[in-house]
Amino acid sequence: MIEVRLRPGVEKKIKAFFQWVYNLEIEDIKGSPKPGDLVKVLDSKKKFLGYGYINPNTKIMVRLLFQRGGGAKQGAYKRPNKVCP
């Protein structure tokens, strides 16, 4: 799979669930991606951040589909205490 490694500091916005990676935020691309290819996104220390699809012809180069730690936080959806008639 093609790997996209980000510049130092960019992972902060990705960890805050921002879903776009701009071309200037990319340090290195391992492989030869074509528009629409699925890529693995890594931080500057090569730790996994998520998966996305790439378009090397645009400024927003990667759009994330899945991010590590994604999903609802535990307890975010609670069952109501009362049942309404």
User: Do 30 and 41 meet the contact criterion of CB atoms below 8 Å apart?
Assistant: no
pLDDT of residue 77: 36
What ranges do the domains of the chain cover? 2-67
Burial class (CB in 10 A: 0-12, 13-18, 19+), 3: middle
Instruction: Quick: pLDDT tens for 37-67.
Output: 999 999 999 999 999 999 999 999 999 997 7
Please say whether the structural domain 2-67 has been given the CATH code 3.90.1150.10. Answer: no
Q: Read off the pLDDT of residues 8-32 as tens digits, 9 standing for 90 and up.
A: 999 999 888 889 999 999 999 999 9
- Using the predicted structure, report yes or no on whether residue 70 has a pLDDT greater than 60: no
Q: Quick check: 4 pLDDT over 60?
A: yes
